[in-house]
Structure 1
Amino acid sequence: MSKFIKLKKGFDINLAGKAEKRISEVEQPETFAYKPTSFHGILRPKLMVAEGDNVKAGTPILFDKKSEKILHVAPVSGEIVEIRRGEKRKLLEVVILADKEIQYEQSDVHSVSDIATLSKEAIIEKMLQGGVWPNLVQRPYGVLADPEVTPKAIFISAFDSHPLAPDYAFIFKGQDQYFQAGLDLLKKLTSGKVQLNIDSNAEVSTMFAQAKNVQINKFSGAHPAGNVGVQIHHLDPINKGETAWTINPYGVIQIGKLFLEGKYDASKIIAVTGSEIKDPQYYKTYLGASIKKFVNGNLKSDHVRCVSGNVLTGEKIAHDGHMGFFDHMISVIPEGDYYELFGWIKPTTNKLSFQRAFGLLSFLNPNKEYILDTNSKGQHRAFVQTGVFEKVLPMDILPTYLLKAILAEDFDDMEALGIYEVVEEDLALCEFVDVSKNDIQKIVREGLDLMQYS
């Protein structure tokens, strides 16, 4: 039965530079990259291509030796021009010089009626070979879903509450048939329900509102209301020994297209946002696009930080860097590499803070859009207990004690305090409000890795 859940905790970071709802035509980027670093748990990636090889969209390019069945495929057709590695030869990117016209690997095409007769095993095999399996993320731990496991449920968040997040109803418009096909297929992969969670405070696309074979739930509240981890916590919490899967609507659409059209389609609409963008708007492109074409000539200043994703959980990239696998937006904000003496104590309406004592006059105008930079307003200091984490995290866990248990490597306390229910993005807002300037998302990932691999 559908549920309505009103969250009372959270905090919206209202930044300037939200994308206008129009799609601009722009010359496609020359290069696209597939980034294994977008996935947690890929420990031993094995390349299936070399520099100079030609690939089509959907051609397998790598797999993890730990999970050889899960193939990662090229998002576009073209030539492999660079294999980028980091420290200890860690694989960072497979860069493709794209063709002007994308060519696709072809597989069997299924009708809507065919989907109803497909077995679970056939669906999994096609998803693994077709390259769409990496869209599925497994909880706990936030790693690639294990095809040998049957999850108790599959969760889909149909809205994003992060700062400057794109409007899902806009970027997925016209994809109803593929989305429904994807839902029908996913329903066969779980022993429970497919849970589709929508925003009760916004206009909901018919693609979501009229979806079938799912349980539709409504959520109300400030960020992180759109985080699928928060939604799982209120719908069907994950206990020790249980497994659930999550997937973004884009991944559901990709699955539907693979079966209905027989190809891996990595086309997407992205939002280019932020206070330092002259003309924030949407663009059509492909997964892993270089952002060079979208920001060159579109920046108010050169001294900015480009982020693939949102400002809370995204990845810093260069002005010609490539977008991550799960990202639907580029955020551009001022670089904050300066020192401000007693800046936090000056009365002003131009600074946003969750704490009124530090934000001062900002709370008087809750609808004001702010231009925030990357300055952390201080350095790391002793981990003090303030109680502020509990005010922004709408989950029945104690984040301060959980984080301290992780730092102490206390496995029993980590388990008792809810480590199985969270991933980095769920506590990203805690990092924003933390007066101790801890790298909280990094701490959470270290805890998850300890639990999974120790």
Structure 2
Amino acid sequence: MSQTIKLKKGFDLNLAGKAEKRTIEVPQPETFALKPTDFSGISRPKLVVKEGDNVKAGSPIFFERNVEDILYTSPVSGEIVEIKRGEKRKVLEVKILADKQVEFENFKKYSASDIGSLSKEDALEQLKKSGGWANIIQRPFGCVANPSDSPKSIFISAFDSSPLATDYSYVLQGQEQYFQAGVDILKKFTSGPIHLNTDGRAEVSQLFSQVKNVQLNTITGPHPAGNVGVQIHHIDPIAKGDIVWTVNPVGVARIGKLFIEGIYDTSRLVAITGSQAKERGYAKMFAGACLNKIETEGDDNRFISGNVLTGEGVGAEGYLGYYHNQVTIIPEGKHEEFMGWILPSTKKLSFHKAFGMLTFLNGKDKEFVVDTNTHGEERNFVVTGAFEEVTPMDILPTYLFKAIIAEDYDDMEALGIYEVIEEDVALCEFIDVSKNPIQEILREGIELIKEG
């Protein structure tokens, strides 16, 4: 039965630089990169290519040593020109000099009627060989799902509430057949429901309202209402030992296209956003695309693959993350302000009325230009009670973070670490007056729990 969830806690960051609902041209870059670090849980990647090899889109690049039959494949065709390594020869990225015309590996095609009778084993085999399995993320821990697990349910958030977020209804126009096929494939892996969650503050697109084999739920509230972790918490909470899978809407359509067209196509419309982007709209890009073809205003800018809360600062010569459907470009914050941390201002975005009291007089429609300045440095952990105001979940984030710092396993479990990943606490980091790396702290706790 469908559910309607109304959330009050949270905080919307209304930033300047939204993507217009139009397609813009960004030339295809010369190079692309597949980064093992994009895939949480990949600690020991084993390469199956070397420099000088030629690959197609869908050709295997590496696998995780502990799960050898799940392949991570090339997003484009071309030549492997560099394998970048870090400490202890850890693979950081595999760089591909792309062909001007992308060629794809061919996988088996299925009609819509054939997908209904396709066995789970055949579907799993195609997903693992093509690279499509990487679209399925497991909760708890937010890592690539283990195909031997049976999730109690699968969640798809049909909207993103993060700053300057991608509009999935626009991005997936004309892909209704692929999206339905993706849902039908996913349904083979769970005896429970597939929850498709829509935004109660916007009109529901027919793309989502007409989908079969899903439970359509409505979520209303400020960010992080669009986070799938928040939705799981209110609809089908995770206890110790539970497994839930999540898939991004773009990933669902990508899986569907794999079975209908027989190709693994990582291209999608990516939202080009931020106050420093010269042209804002949606550009067709493959996963791992170099961002150096995006034009900007000014010279000293931060290129973020993703959004300002959870994205990765990659630089103008950096690469689009595998799971990112958005690029954000904002000014670098290298300037200093005299007493900038205490003076009231109408130009600064702040959750705390004591610091940005005048911003609340501008109304909800005021758009803010933000930079990377943190307006302070890391200091002792201050308990303000603010974290609880932006976390619409029945957990105690302040005490959870303290338990992680203390490496108290029992308290971590009792305080809800199975229910959250980095994106669910990103607002806590944004409003933290102590400037602590909250998302890093949470990931350290998750890794401790996994190893324990």
Q: Give TM-score scaled by structure 2 length.
A: 0.98
Q: Is the 8 A contact 2:32 2:97 kept in 1?
A: yes
**Partner amino acid, structure 2, of 1:419:** I
**Partner amino acid, structure 2, of 1:400:** T
Asked if 1:303 is matched to 2:300, the reply is yes
Report the alpha carbon displacement of residue 87 of structure 1 after superposing the two structures with TM. 2.5
Trace 1:340-419 onto structure 2 (pairs within 5 A): 340-365=337-362, 366-419=364-417
Distance 1:60 1:207 in 2: 32
Report the alpha carbon displacement of residue 340 of structure 1 after superposing the two structures with TM. 1.8
Q: Which residue of 2 aligns with 1:192?
A: 192
Matched residue SS, 2:429: helix
Report the alpha carbon displacement of residue 278 of structure 1 after superposing the two structures with TM. 2.1
Matched residue SS, 2:70: strand
Trace 1:45-56 onto structure 2 (pairs within 5 A): 45-56=45-56
Distance 1:115 1:260 in 2: 9
Distance 1:25 1:149 in 2: 42
Q: Which residue of 1 aligns with 2:141?
A: 141
Distance 2:376 2:403 in 1: 25
**Partner amino acid, structure 2, of 1:439:** P
Q: Is the 8 A contact 1:183 1:213 kept in 2?
A: yes
Distance 1:300 1:85 in 2: 33
**Partner amino acid, structure 2, of 1:443:** I
Trace 1:281-360 onto structure 2 (pairs within 5 A): 281-294=281-294, 298-360=295-357
Matched residue SS, 1:292: coil
Structure 1 unaligned blocks of 5 or more: none
Asked if 1:222 is matched to 2:219, the reply is no
**Partner amino acid, structure 2, of 1:405:** A
Q: Is the 8 A contact 2:341 2:376 kept in 1?
A: no
Distance 2:206 2:92 in 1: 38
Report the alpha carbon displacement of residue 112 of structure 1 after superposing the two structures with TM. 0.9
Q: Give TM-score scaled by structure 1 length.
A: 0.98
**Partner amino acid, structure 2, of 1:312:** L
Matched residue SS, 1:429: helix
Report the alpha carbon displacement of residue 347 of structure 1 after superposing the two structures with TM. 2.8
Identity %: 61
**Partner amino acid, structure 2, of 1:329:** Q
Residue by residue over 1:271-306, the C-alpha shift from the partner in whole angstroms, topping out at 9 and shown as x without a partner, is 111011122111112111111111xxx222111111
Matched residue SS, 1:114: helix
Q: Is the 8 A contact 2:225 2:231 kept in 1?
A: yes
Distance 2:19 2:90 in 1: 35
Q: Which residue of 1 aligns with 2:444?
A: 446
Report the alpha carbon displacement of residue 246 of structure 1 after superposing the two structures with TM. 0.5
Distance 1:453 1:302 in 2: 44
Residue by residue over 1:7-42, the C-alpha shift from the partner in whole angstroms, topping out at 9 and shown as x without a partner, is 000000111011111112232111111111111111
Trace 1:75-114 onto structure 2 (pairs within 5 A): 75-114=75-114
**Partner amino acid, structure 1, of 2:116:** A
Q: Is the 8 A contact 1:334 1:372 kept in 2?
A: yes
Distance 2:89 2:315 in 1: 20
Distance 2:338 2:410 in 1: 43
Number of residue pairs matched by the alignment: 451
Distance 1:383 1:345 in 2: 19
Distance 2:420 2:184 in 1: 27
Q: Is the 8 A contact 1:76 1:102 kept in 2?
A: yes
Matched residue SS, 1:420: helix
Residue by residue over 1:124-145, the C-alpha shift from the partner in whole angstroms, topping out at 9 and shown as x without a partner, is 1111011100011111111110
Residue by residue over 1:22-78, the C-alpha shift from the partner in whole angstroms, topping out at 9 and shown as x without a partner, is 112232111111111111111110001011100011101100001111100011111
Q: Which residue of 1 aligns with 2:155?
A: 155
Q: Which residue of 2 aligns with 1:424?
A: 422
**Partner amino acid, structure 2, of 1:53:** D
Matched residue SS, 2:95: strand
**Partner amino acid, structure 2, of 1:324:** G
Q: Which residue of 2 aligns with 1:31?
A: 31
Q: Is the 8 A contact 1:10 1:393 kept in 2?
A: yes
Q: Is the 8 A contact 1:180 1:212 kept in 2?
A: yes
Report the alpha carbon displacement of residue 438 of structure 1 after superposing the two structures with TM. 0.6
Trace 1:7-26 onto structure 2 (pairs within 5 A): 7-26=7-26
Distance 2:26 2:246 in 1: 32
Larger displacement relative to structure 2 (101-110 or 400-409): 101-110
Q: Which residue of 2 aligns with 1:437?
A: 435
Matched residue SS, 2:195: strand
Distance 1:243 1:328 in 2: 25
Report the alpha carbon displacement of residue 191 of structure 1 after superposing the two structures with TM. 2.0
**Partner amino acid, structure 2, of 1:285:** M
Matched residue SS, 1:343: coil
Distance 2:361 2:10 in 1: 18
Q: Which residue of 1 aligns with 2:119?
A: 119
Q: Is the 8 A contact 1:43 1:66 kept in 2?
A: no
Residue by residue over 1:380-438, the C-alpha shift from the partner in whole angstroms, topping out at 9 and shown as x without a partner, is 11111100000001000000000000000000000000000000100000000000111
Asked if 1:58 is matched to 2:58, the reply is yes
Report the alpha carbon displacement of residue 440 of structure 1 after superposing the two structures with TM. 0.2
Report the alpha carbon displacement of residue 152 of structure 1 after superposing the two structures with TM. 0.4
